[in-house]
Amino acid sequence: MDIAHATIWWVAAGLAVAVELATGTFYLLMIALGLASGALAAHLGLGGAMQVVAAAAVGSGATALWHWKRMQHPRSLPARENRDVNLDIGETVHVDGWAADDTARVTYRGAGWTARRQPGGPAETGAHRIVAVEGNWLVVAPSQAGSLLTSCTAADDTSTRSLS
């Protein structure tokens, strides 16, 4: 039984896609693109060496472009500080007082939590924003709501004056 070169390329591309679906490695899709270009080169009647060159050029080029594109975007925050992962990040709690070990008991979502100050943060009481969740501890920083409101109001006053 004689199998066409294009069939081998298509089977290899299909296997790369199947492995990518099982592992989630997006780079394998770029390699599958290269393998598919080898199949297209075979359909065009190019020799074996040119099929390999086409597959290598497209596969490595697509992989390099994808890697370059990913490096252009900033890395996401660690899961403990990422609002996309933990919806508690950015929520507000009220701190009545700090213990000697820089912890406080706060009520959040109807339950008592232990909160600790963000490293380098002041030991103030009042409204605090959750900046991270580490296990069953909330890491908090003083809320800047008052200063943000003042700056937004000032910006609105400035824009109103420039429009009139």
Q: What's the predicted TM-score (pTM) here?
A: 0.50
Of the candidates 117, 124, 119, 121, the residue with the CA atom closest to the CA atom of residue 138: 117
Structure confidence by residue, pLDDT tens digits, 45-63: 999 999 999 999 999 999 9
121 in Cβ contact with 102 (< 8 Å): no
Q: Residue 70 corresponds to which tokens in the numbers above?
A: 């990913």
Residue of higher predicted confidence among 150 and 81: 81
Structure confidence by residue, pLDDT tens digits, 120-138: 888 888 999 999 888 889 9
